[in-house]
Structure 1
Amino acid sequence: MKWLARILVSGAALTIAGTALANDDTLTKTKDPKNWAIQLGNYEGQRYSPLDQITVENVKSLRPAWSFSTGVLRGHEGGPIVIGDTMYIHTPVPNIVYALDLANEGRVKWKYEPRQDLNVIPVMCCDTVNRGVAVADGKVFLAQADNTLVALNADSGQELWKVKNGDHTRGETLTAAPLVVKDKVLVGISGGEFGVRGHLTAYNTESGEMVWRAYSTGPDADVLLDPQTTTMMGKPIGEADLGVKTWPGEEWKIGGGTTWGWYTYDPELDLVYYGTGNPGTWNPVQRAVDNDRAKSDNKWSMTIFARNPDTGQAKWVYQKTPFDEWDFDGVNENILADLTIDGQERKVLVNFDRNGFAYTLDRETGELLVAKKFDPVVNWATDIDMETGRPNVVDQYSTFAQGEDTNTKGVCPAALGTKDQQPAAFNPQTGLFYVPTNHLCMDYEPFQVAYTAGQPYVGATVAMYPAPNSHGGMGNFIAFDAAKGEIVWSKPERFAVWSGALTTAGGVGFYGTLEGYLKAFDLKDGTELYKFKTPSGIIGNINTYEHNGKQYIAVLSGVGGWAGIGLAAGLTDESAAAGWHEAVHPERGQGPETAADVTVDTAGLGAVGAHRQLSDYTQLGGVLTVFELPSN
């Protein structure tokens, strides 16, 4: 209890100190547990609610209260925002935003449907998803697929301003949820599979004017990095322009490092945290300097950045997977918490990376404190060197060491990662993190690929399958002790777990499954307490709020995303697989490949084969479902 009290006191101090720094409206609304005012629940990204009406004892009585069809198929990631009497929900392309009246059975207050060039759809790598809107200062901020950032009046849905953040004809798209910090709205970019150059950009919330843009690759001036003051592993970087030197030639200009994940913020330290994605192309041989892995970190892809939100200047960086050889995208959320590690209270950042390692860092200095596997089958590296922060790569599973046109078999995890963007949750009462995970391995064959703007720049054929000699399923939901780097308990699932988690003060947590189940569990031991099958598979994030004195649980279901791309895009037979295969590497042949040349195992960048049985359990459909306890 003393440990818990320290967490609560330090959290309160962080909020008070940050009031003058953070967006006042966002802070005020996230402090009220009746709201779910930000996609990750709070600036720290904890996805924790102090609401406690729903408990271990009564959750079994949960029932659907009402539902709402979004009118859109494809994958529904992200989740509802609730502020007072209004719920804001979003859809995949065409990126509709609805404002629903909670005081009137979800009546539509207003609907905004943007007009955008639907030619953006073919350049969206892994479904036409969108991870949600941000609401602050009387505005709703929507990042549209076609790279338009738009500000809407939160009461009427009227357009206030809009600005272009990229060019879809070059493969750039927008899928991430914006984050409002102070008077700025932060937005990233997608398109790592199209050879785009990643960046994070800050726009003024009132005018839409660009304030700063920080690139993920290139000269220090573009990355907004000072090698003498920006630190890595607690020491100044020292050498200039590593974002150029660690790439061959001008490959950094098409180097990926996209920023389509989640952003968190510490108001006390006044730092924004986010991760950058995979380097383009997936073929590591084409990204090697002098054919030497040691020279080829491909900075600053696969990197956690801590930046000043006013200037964009990087305070510290940490590259998790230098010279990524497996598409272990580094964009997953960075959860901020205060933990006791080796007897010392630390302000930490916890990241569950696609590469299968969980990282605990000091969020003020970037010092690496703990780095451990959060799935035992991970084999591409033995461990993380705690002095250098670098992984110790196993050559047997190195796609670079094995070489081009060689199928490296049995790599764990698969490119879907041990965890993708589906956000984990922290619970201050237990001190544990609750993590949706994938339990997949892959075969990976890199090949030469030519860059053409707006065309896929992949350069690898991938087949994914359940981890062998295991429970036979493709997912686990786990509780993890980030102070020790240990799995506390693990629940196997039939398919990859692709929803965001939620924990509450009632001792109950929630997550969703690809089959469509909303599941409630006991935070202590993972015991399943309740489940309900929604109309479609869940890849959205479970949220909770209170209205008229009652706690509700809300989730968007609608199967899709990378894990569900087979259903979402119709890649369920060999002809569809062949069409996708031709699209991702048209340079390979003397004309189109046929269905006989390609199996469904490699369709959808490998995800379709892994989830080929998903259609036996669910189908497409975008539906919001709201749950309640029965009235006394």
Structure 2
Amino acid sequence: MRNIGILAAAIAAVGSAASAQDTAERGPAAVDEARLLAANAEPGNWLSYGRTYDEQRYSPLDQVTTGNIGELGLAWFADIPLNRGQESTPIVVDGVIYLSSSWSNVFAYDAATGEQLWRYDPEVPREWAINVCCGMVNRGVAAWNGRIYVGTLDGRLVAIDAATGEEVWDVYTIDRNQRYSTTGAVRVVKGRVLVGNSGGEFGVRGYVSAYDAETGELISADAFAPVNWASHVDLATGRPVENLEARYDDTGQIAFVTPTGRGAHNWQPMSFNPNTGLVYFGSRHSMSAYLADPDFTPTSIGTNTGTFRAFSPEQRAEVTAREDALFADRGALLGWDPVARGPAWRYVDPRQTGNGGTLSTAGNLVFAGGGEGQFFAYRADGGERLWTFDAHTGVAAGPVSYEVDGEQYIAVAAGRGLQPYYQPNYARLLAFKLGGARQLPDPVEYVAPALDPPPSTASADVIAHGADRYGQICVQCHNNRLGTFPDLRRSVALADAVLFDAIVLDGALAANGMASFAEALTPEDATAVREYVITLAIEAKAAEDAEQAAAAAQAAEDAEPHED
């Protein structure tokens, strides 16, 4: 499971930043403080999460340019046997790629061929998923003195032998009585491994700011997307100046807020190109309704935001109407000028696709993925889209560039995005080079479960109670917008109360990450939740039927003979 044992031979055969002889002599993942401090002198490697300590995610490699980007093709791909999201930035050290994946698995690959050298599985208990907000993801590893380090979903820090893939040690970094998880990339500084923990939705809080390194002065704080909950940021305090009407906990009224809790920009890595002076990142425009829950009681399972999160169809329609009125588009990839404090260019995808992490290169290129299933290259100074690759799946992770035997590669982890949960994930590590001619296998046909809800027989009070419990316990994962978790409206368990309770209360699917919620839900609560989801399914079925009827009517009209 963890060791294939061919890494030493692989690194001896590859020449990248150093000679093959030097590489073989120092062994795999031979990264120390001197190399990290001088990482910019090794353009063929990607030694840490952001390549260099300043994490600009800029590659000095310039073999691939705006002039020959059309010749970029798939050099190799490696399937990742995990049906979850892929958000990791790979690191590349002396011809070997180290990549973390979902459930905190770590893989090592030959950077020239994609051959898997080893796999490490920390065997995270699947029931720990109950403590995780938004997917069983991991965003990156660190290399140091022959070891690879990863933070695991259940809060451990693990050291792995880079040559064999065997575990060296692991240690818990959290209080396991609290609802923590670890998804972020680890870093190593002066021999210390830095790891952070998550859990804001469940009661854990954190705060991060960026300040001038010399003076401690906050330089600027400018909106790059529409914001209505604050007017500006006070540069003296570094805190936003809130609009009072956005304080729904004080007003007791619904507040329609933009950006939403997902942010105008989230975890996806940004990059900076010193040649253009621009920063590259995706922005998104969305709105959500927020209302304080007067009956909120903290729970040991579920979210603890204190807000009401299950709204009526009319309220959801109002959110959509406000979005349509406020936003000219639903987001873009930005080339942001930090000196002029505004966008030098914006690329808007009319499909309103989500934007992934970015990589900028000396070839005047920016690489970024999209939620709909493509990987793109843009002109760094002007923003034109120059190249597209169909990855068959969402590409959210940060790309990297490296060099093997004089050839520049672009690599990115792909898997999940905005596609339906029921579509195959196609999780893969993709590597491109000029003249690459590999082809991905054709996508597999799939059919999502039908919307076939049973009749709603519950009282309005039961459904309202179910909406409350669903909003605190279920909606964080099963919000029907992302492909990470099943769409409960399509579940066969809606028509089978015994099966529904077996899953929700008894943990029948704990091995898949769906733990028992008996600690937070009574049998009566579970019944109410099921009845509420039935109403959501009926609503979705009615919308689907109306859409199909409209399409059929349009087709019939188009088939009618028309006089010229």
Structure 1 equivalent of residue 489 of structure 2: 573
Partner of 1:597, secondary structure, is: helix
1:597 is the counterpart of 2:532: yes
Q: Kindly provide the CA deviation profile for residues 318-357 of structure 1, in whole angstroms up to 9, marking residues without a partner as x.
A: xxxxxxxxxxxxxxxxxxxxxxxxxxxxxxx5xxxxxxxx
- Structure 2 counterpart of 1:82, one-letter code: V
Structure 2 equivalent of residue 109 of structure 1: 117
Aligned ranges 1:536-547 → 2 under 5 Å: 536-547=393-404
Partner of 1:77, secondary structure, is: coil
Q: Summarize the Cα distance change of 1:600–1:445 in structure 2 as closer, same or farther, 3 Å threshold.
A: farther
Q: Kindly provide the CA deviation profile for residues 432-487 of structure 1, in whole angstroms up to 9, marking residues without a partner as x.
A: 11111121111112214323445432322446759323666533111112223212
What is the CA-CA distance between 1:490 and the residue it aligns to?
1.1
Question: Could you tell me which of 368, 373, 380 is aligned with 2:218?
Answer: 368
- Structure 2 counterpart of 1:460, one-letter code: T
8 Å Cα contact 2:155/2:173 also seen in 1: yes
Specify every segment of 5 or more residues in structure 1 that has no aligned partner in the other structure, as ranges.
Answer: 1-21, 196-255, 258-275, 277-301, 305-348, 350-360, 603-607, 613-632
Matches of 1:595 and 1:457, distance apart in 2:
21
Structure 2 equivalent of residue 46 of structure 1: 56
Q: Summarize the Cα distance change of 1:136–1:594 in structure 2 as closer, same or farther, 3 Å threshold.
A: same
What is the CA-CA distance between 1:31 and the residue it aligns to?
3.2
8 Å Cα contact 1:457/1:584 also seen in 2: no
8 Å Cα contact 1:49/1:544 also seen in 2: yes
1:419 is the counterpart of 2:265: yes
8 Å Cα contact 1:170/1:455 also seen in 2: no
- Structure 2 counterpart of 1:106, one-letter code: G
Q: Summarize the Cα distance change of 1:473–1:368 in structure 2 as closer, same or farther, 3 Å threshold.
A: same
What is the CA-CA distance between 1:509 and the residue it aligns to?
0.5
Matches of 2:401 and 2:214, distance apart in 1:
30
Partner of 1:369, secondary structure, is: coil
Task: Judge which range, 140-149 or 488-497, deviates more.
Answer: 488-497
1:390 is the counterpart of 2:247: no
Q: Summarize the Cα distance change of 1:565–1:469 in structure 2 as closer, same or farther, 3 Å threshold.
A: closer
Structure 2 equivalent of residue 408 of structure 1: 255
Structure 2 equivalent of residue 26 of structure 1: 36
Matches of 2:158 and 2:267, distance apart in 1:
23
Partner of 1:469, secondary structure, is: helix
Partner of 2:263, secondary structure, is: coil
What is the CA-CA distance between 1:152 and the residue it aligns to?
1.0
Aligned positions, number: 418
- Structure 2 counterpart of 1:54, one-letter code: V
What is the CA-CA distance between 1:33 and the residue it aligns to?
0.6
Q: Summarize the Cα distance change of 1:472–1:584 in structure 2 as closer, same or farther, 3 Å threshold.
A: farther
Aligned ranges 1:473-488 → 2 under 5 Å: 473-488=329-344
Aligned ranges 1:61-80 → 2 under 5 Å: 61-80=71-90
What is the CA-CA distance between 1:395 and the residue it aligns to?
2.2
Which aligned segments of 4 or more residues in structure 1 are displaced greater than 4 angstroms?
Answer: 462-466, 470-473, 560-565, 574-580, 582-590, 598-602
Partner of 1:417, secondary structure, is: coil
8 Å Cα contact 1:373/1:485 also seen in 2: no
Structure 1 equivalent of residue 189 of structure 2: 181
Q: Kindly provide the CA deviation profile for residues 121-147 of structure 1, in whole angstroms up to 9, marking residues without a partner as x.
A: 122111111101111211100111111
Matches of 2:306 and 2:177, distance apart in 1:
20
1:430 is the counterpart of 2:276: yes
Matches of 1:449 and 1:30, distance apart in 2:
51
Instruction: Tell me the TM-score normalized by structure 2.
Output: 0.68
- Structure 2 counterpart of 1:527, one-letter code: E
8 Å Cα contact 1:566/1:572 also seen in 2: no
What is the CA-CA distance between 1:599 and the residue it aligns to?
8.8
Q: Summarize the Cα distance change of 1:78–1:86 in structure 2 as closer, same or farther, 3 Å threshold.
A: same
Structure 2 equivalent of residue 7 of structure 1: none
Q: Summarize the Cα distance change of 1:450–1:491 in structure 2 as closer, same or farther, 3 Å threshold.
A: same
Q: Kindly provide the CA deviation profile for residues 104-135 of structure 1, in whole angstroms up to 9, marking residues without a partner as x.
A: x2222222112232221122111111101111
The answer to which structure has the higher strand fraction is 1
What is the CA-CA distance between 1:382 and the residue it aligns to?
1.6
Instruction: Tell me the TM-score normalized by structure 1.
Output: 0.61
Structure 2 equivalent of residue 552 of structure 1: 409
8 Å Cα contact 1:74/1:560 also seen in 2: no
Structure 1 equivalent of residue 14 of structure 2: none
8 Å Cα contact 1:47/1:502 also seen in 2: yes
What is the CA-CA distance between 1:544 and the residue it aligns to?
0.9
Matches of 1:524 and 1:68, distance apart in 2:
32
Matches of 1:520 and 1:185, distance apart in 2:
33
Partner of 2:383, secondary structure, is: coil
Greater radius of gyration (CA): 2
Percent sequence identity over aligned pairs = 32
Q: Summarize the Cα distance change of 1:600–1:50 in structure 2 as closer, same or farther, 3 Å threshold.
A: farther
8 Å Cα contact 2:357/2:396 also seen in 1: yes
Structure 1 equivalent of residue 149 of structure 2: 141
- Structure 1 counterpart of 2:486, one-letter code: G
Partner of 1:368, secondary structure, is: coil
8 Å Cα contact 2:39/2:52 also seen in 1: no
- Structure 1 counterpart of 2:489, one-letter code: D
Structure 1 equivalent of residue 323 of structure 2: 467
Cα-Cα RMSD: 3.2
- Structure 2 counterpart of 1:37, one-letter code: L
What is the CA-CA distance between 1:537 and the residue it aligns to?
0.6
Matches of 1:572 and 1:54, distance apart in 2:
45
Partner of 2:298, secondary structure, is: coil
Matches of 2:536 and 2:407, distance apart in 1:
46
Q: Kindly provide the CA deviation profile for residues 138-187 of structure 1, in whole angstroms up to 9, marking residues without a partner as x.
A: 11001111111111111111222111112455311111111000110000
Question: Could you tell me which of 362, 384, 397 is aligned with 1:505?
Answer: 362
Task: Judge which range, 167-176 or 554-563, deviates more.
Answer: 554-563
What is the CA-CA distance between 1:515 and the residue it aligns to?
0.8
Q: Summarize the Cα distance change of 1:56–1:421 in structure 2 as closer, same or farther, 3 Å threshold.
A: same
Matches of 2:290 and 2:518, distance apart in 1:
15
- Structure 2 counterpart of 1:97, one-letter code: V
What is the CA-CA distance between 1:570 and the residue it aligns to?
1.1
Structure 1 equivalent of residue 99 of structure 2: 89
Q: Summarize the Cα distance change of 1:132–1:449 in structure 2 as closer, same or farther, 3 Å threshold.
A: same
- Structure 1 counterpart of 2:239, one-letter code: R
- Structure 2 counterpart of 1:510, one-letter code: F
- Structure 2 counterpart of 1:591, one-letter code: D
Matches of 1:76 and 1:114, distance apart in 2:
17
Structure 1 equivalent of residue 346 of structure 2: 490
Matches of 2:335 and 2:187, distance apart in 1:
27
What is the CA-CA distance between 1:374 and the residue it aligns to?
0.4
Matches of 2:519 and 2:120, distance apart in 1:
37
Partner of 1:468, secondary structure, is: helix
Structure 2 equivalent of residue 456 of structure 1: 303
Partner of 2:348, secondary structure, is: strand
Q: Summarize the Cα distance change of 1:168–1:414 in structure 2 as closer, same or farther, 3 Å threshold.
A: same
8 Å Cα contact 2:480/2:487 also seen in 1: no
The answer to which structure has the higher helix fraction is 2
1:170 is the counterpart of 2:178: yes
Matches of 2:243 and 2:341, distance apart in 1:
21
Matches of 1:384 and 1:419, distance apart in 2:
17
Q: Kindly provide the CA deviation profile for residues 85-112 of structure 1, in whole angstroms up to 9, marking residues without a partner as x.
A: 111112111x221111234x22222221
What is the CA-CA distance between 1:558 and the residue it aligns to?
0.6
8 Å Cα contact 2:391/2:414 also seen in 1: yes
Matches of 2:108 and 2:261, distance apart in 1:
36
Q: Summarize the Cα distance change of 1:117–1:27 in structure 2 as closer, same or farther, 3 Å threshold.
A: same
What is the CA-CA distance between 1:572 and the residue it aligns to?
5.9
Matches of 2:303 and 2:353, distance apart in 1:
25
